Amino acid sequence: MIESVPRPDVRRDDLAEWCAVNLGAEAVEEMFATGHLSQVVGLRLGDGRQVVVKVRPPAPRLAGCVEVQHVLGTRGFPCPRLLAGPTPLGAHTATAEALLPGGAILAASPATTRLSARALRHLIVLAPGAETVPTLEPTPPWAGWDHTEGGVWPIPDDRAADLNAHPGPAWLDTVGERVRTRLTSSPLPHVVAHVDWEMQNLRWRGEHLHAAHDWDSVAVRPEAGIVGLAAAVHTVTGEPSREASDDQVEDFLLAYKDARRRAFTREEREVAWAAGLWVRAFNAKKDSLDGDGPTLARLAAEAPRRLERASA
């Protein structure tokens, strides 16, 4: 079993001091604490405001992520309003945003696939240009097929492991290499967007997107690559579930095409399928460190069809 990367552990006294300095009011109540790679704490301040403070390791790309979130918020996209940061909190970096409560996580269905695809298109239309924001490099590894770290696989952000030092399964390393070659050879232009477009990161009120979360997951990728990543994982709700089936991926691509009112070119369709296969293969490679499992078995069955659709 490979050890997971621990999330930051911040003393509540240090967090309260950070709020006083950066938000102008002390934290008087902790409403919740959660997080995976980051420590995410909901706080009530002495002036009555309810905020969410997110603490994670420092990284140059965070300034770009914050800028994208801020711009999208000012343009009417439903993301939490930034209040402070990124600024140091001990050895870590923290940001604060207004709490945006409410909304529900939707279960996977043909209807929610259409809603998710339309919301992603709205985000891409409103997002700032890549040349106008601070760096968003390095790209998160599940979308980082053009990494420069050597080997097929980038360093994961949630495992203390070099995936390339754990060879095999051979078929999976071959899939990763073929998809990576296909994606890095594409001439498609790049846009800014969210690259972890899972249902567990979205909250809905009926058919209205109420809030999109996890704005550390912003990157510069080809539009078709972003759509393909989302198509592959949009069904993930945080409960035990499987990634999108071939039919669900195809439904998402069709829904996105309808939302943008323009058909995909052959190159765009192939890149979309390749990007979706990359995130599936990267996740399966991480899972392989713990032995064979259902994730690997499903991908082994699906990979030949997806490679063909990606022309990889």
pLDDT tens digits for range 272-287: 999 999 999 999 999 8
Give the C-alpha separation, 111 to 274, whole Å.
24
Per residue in 88-118, pLDDT (tens digit) is: 999 999 999 999 999 999 999 999 999 999 9
Residues 6 or more apart whose Cβ sits within 8 Å of residue 105:
199, 200, 202, 203, 204, 237, 238
Q: Quote the DSSP letter at residue 3.
A: P
Q: What pLDDT was estimated at residue 3?
A: 52
List, in order of start, the domains of the chain with CATH numbers. Answer: 12-98 (3.30.200.20), 110-310 (3.90.1200.10)
Q: Is the pLDDT of residue 4 over 60?
A: no
Q: Which long-range contacts (CB under 8 A, 24 or more apart) does 253-259 make?
A: 253/227, 253/228, 255/113, 255/114, 255/116, 255/117, 255/118, 256/117, 256/118, 256/120, 256/121, 256/227, 256/231, 258/114, 258/117, 259/117, 259/118, 259/120, 259/121, 259/122
Choice among 126-130, 136-140, 158-162, 219-223 with the minimum mean pLDDT: 158-162
Q: Rounded to the nearest 10 degrees, how much is the dihedral formed by the CA atoms of 228, 106, 35, 122?
A: 50
pTM of the model: 0.95
Structure tokens, 125:
């239309």
According to DSSP, the residues that pair with 205 across neighbouring strands are 208
Mean pLDDT value of segment 135-140: 97
Instruction: Categorize the per-residue pLDDT at 2 as very low, low, confident or very high, splitting at 50, 70 and 90.
Output: low
Q: Does 242 or 51 have the greater pLDDT score?
A: 51
Q: Does 10 or 138 have the greater pLDDT score?
A: 138
Cβ count near 290 (within 10 Å): 11
According to DSSP, the residues that pair with 4 across neighbouring strands are 159
Return mean pLDDT, the chain: 94
Instruction: Categorize the per-residue pLDDT at 11 as very low, low, confident or very high, splitting at 50, 70 and 90.
Output: confident
Q: Quote the DSSP letter at residue 274.
A: H
Q: Does 300 or 37 have the greater pLDDT score?
A: 300
Per residue in 228-259, pLDDT (tens digit) is: 999 999 999 988 768 999 999 999 999 999 99
Instruction: Categorize the per-residue pLDDT at 1 as very low, low, confident or very high, splitting at 50, 70 and 90.
Output: very low
Mean pLDDT value of segment 15-28: 95
Instruction: Categorize the per-residue pLDDT at 154 as very low, low, confident or very high, splitting at 50, 70 and 90.
Output: very high
213: closest CA among 56, 74, 49, 103? 103
Cβ count near 33 (within 10 Å): 12
Axis crossing angle, helix 223-233 with helix 246-260, rounded to the nearest 10: 140
Q: Is the pLDDT of residue 6 over 80?
A: no
* 181 and 27 Cβ atoms separated by less than 8 Å: no
Mean pLDDT value of segment 4-18: 81
E-state strands within the chain: 27-34, 39-45, 50-56, 82-89, 92-98, 190-194, 202-205, 208-212, 218-222
Mean pLDDT value of segment 204-212: 97
116: closest CA among 272, 279, 274, 255? 255
Residues 6 or more apart whose Cβ sits within 8 Å of residue 181:
312
